[in-house]
Amino acid sequence: MSKTKNFVETLRELREACSQLNEAIADLNVTLEKINAEENGPEVEMPKRDVQADKELIRQKLAEKAAAGKTKEVRELLHQFKAEKLSDVDPKDYEELYYSIEALDYDEFN
């Protein structure tokens, strides 16, 4: 074979290799997009909290602790949230207050 024919044949092989490489990259992109879509999934909006239900649950927990003889601890908890009574507590603090009430059971073991 002449040098020109060798050169033309090499170019043809390179074009074919590039074409196959482009197809492989396209397939890889499709696969990565599928994986990304599965990982991210649809955006889930957190449900809105029912402030009144939270307040009632906390009121119930506070009453249970007071009935169990922990009135002093209940008052101290409310004071930590700068409140004299539950209605003085900021609703954004209800979650933290709830867990603080739950922690009263564990404080007696320490």
Q: Are 49 and 58 in contact (CB under 8 A)?
A: no
How much is the pLDDT for 15? 93
Q: How many CB atoms lie within 10 A of CB 12?
A: 10
pLDDT (mean) for 16-32:
93
How much is the pLDDT for 9? 93
Instruction: Specify the DSSP class assigned to residue 81.
Output: T
pLDDT (mean) for 14-41:
88
How much is the pLDDT for 38? 76
CA distances from 91 to 49, 74, 96 (A): 10, 17, 10
Q: Tens digit of pLDDT for each residue in 38-95? A: 777 666 666 777 888 889 999 999 999 999 999 999 999 999 999 999 989 999 898 8
Q: Tens digit of pLDDT for each residue in 29-40? A: 999 988 887 777
Location of structure tokens 């933290």:
96
User: Residue 109 — pLDDT band, cuts 50, 70, 90?
Assistant: low
Best CA proximity match to 95, nearest among 64, 49, 47: 49
pTM, 2 dp: 0.54
